[in-house]
Amino acid sequence: MSIKEALESRLAGYGAHLVSMRRLAGGASQEAWIVRVGGDAQGERDLVLRRDMGGSLSSAARTRAEEYALLKAAYEAGVRVPRVVYEPMMLEGRQAFLMEHLAGETIGRRLVRDEAFARARDVLPEQTMGALVRIHAIDPARLPFLVKGQGVLDLLAALERDLDNCGEGHPALELGLRWLHLNAPHPERTTLVHGDFRVGNFVVGPDGLRGVLDWELAHAGDPDEDLGWFCVRAWRFGRNDLAAGGITTREHLLEAYRAAGGHGLSLERLRYWELYGNVKWGIGALSQAARHLRGEEISIELATLGRLAAEMELETLHLLEQAWQRQYAERSD
């Protein structure tokens, strides 16, 4: 049975029918399809189907059923996210779910550069931080699969396993992991962490934020991880003059988070999680390329992702140099 036939069968159980479906480009670990559905009480409309592709950026990634539950909880908490519809399903042996389609732009390089989004860039820091504060306020206990908070040492151990599984040495990333171990911050709070909160995972219109996507790396842990990830070099899309997502400065990002009701966070703690994020993405890129090289998922896109690891290695060394300079200056004082 094809994916189309399987989906038609599932929709029939809800009194709906499939009008058309089209696979979207991109997606290194999950498939995404635009699905036009008709026949139910909502009338004919476009939905988005997310389905497992067979791999992930992390060994700790959420299942599609868990991602469905996360989106539902976020929607109920007032976070701007697509509303999930029907129930999670199995299509050709892979988990999948349907959510509403939000019109807007997601391509990072357009969002940080195009004049059409100039007004959006002005308001996105406050809008995204407002959404993040709401996410961090969701009680992880509402989501039974988040039974245990992940401390930074747990996260580092998972990254080490993922790097080992790549089967090749990467000294810059290993050095970054060592520094992160030696300088791990004391945990101050445990919340729901989105895990991939960044430009490129937002649906944006000329008026600003319309939705937060891609919840597959969500977990219970230190909320500061989300703020550091926002600042990873790759998510600036060439606007390296604006360290926070190519749209603002680190300082303004922290101000916007506090103004929205978030806890106070020092610039130094933010920089720790930024370094963590660059190491994490470097290992994630290598892991995707390894799937291609092992023959698990033959894909030029996955192979190309492996090339990005070199950029993350260079950024890791750059951030380590800055950290050592700050530590030396403190000792000199």
What pLDDT is recorded for position 174? 97
Q: Which amino acid is at 237?
A: F
Q: What confidence tier does 294 reach under pLDDT thresholds 50, 70, 90?
A: confident
Assess whether pLDDT exceeds 70 at residue 262: yes
How many whole angstroms from its chain centre is CA 111?
17
Assess whether pLDDT exceeds 90 at residue 121: yes
Compare 186 and 275 and report the one with higher pLDDT.
275
Q: In 149-249, where does DSSP find H-type helix?
A: 152-165, 171-182, 224-230
pTM for the predicted model, two decimal places: 0.92
Assess whether pLDDT exceeds 80 at residue 34: yes
Dist. CA 320–CA 329, nearest whole Å: 14
Helix axes 300-332, 267-293, angle to 10 degrees: 150
Lowest mean pLDDT, pick from 58-67, 117-126, 163-172, 320-329 = 58-67
Assess whether pLDDT exceeds 80 at residue 60: no
Assess whether pLDDT exceeds 60 at residue 83: yes
Average pLDDT rounded to a whole number, residues 311-331: 92
Fold of 3-100: Phosphorylase Kinase; domain 1 (3.30.200)
Beta bridge partners of 100: 47
Assess whether pLDDT exceeds 80 at residue 57: no
Over the stretch 243-252, which tens digit does the pLDDT of each residue have?
A: 999 999 999 9
What pLDDT is recorded for position 26? 62
Q: Show me where the domains of the chain are located.
A: 3-100, 108-332
- Report the first-to-last Cα separation within the chain, whole angstroms: 70
Compare 19 and 299 and report the one with higher pLDDT.
19
Architecture of domain 108-332: Alpha-Beta Complex (3.90)
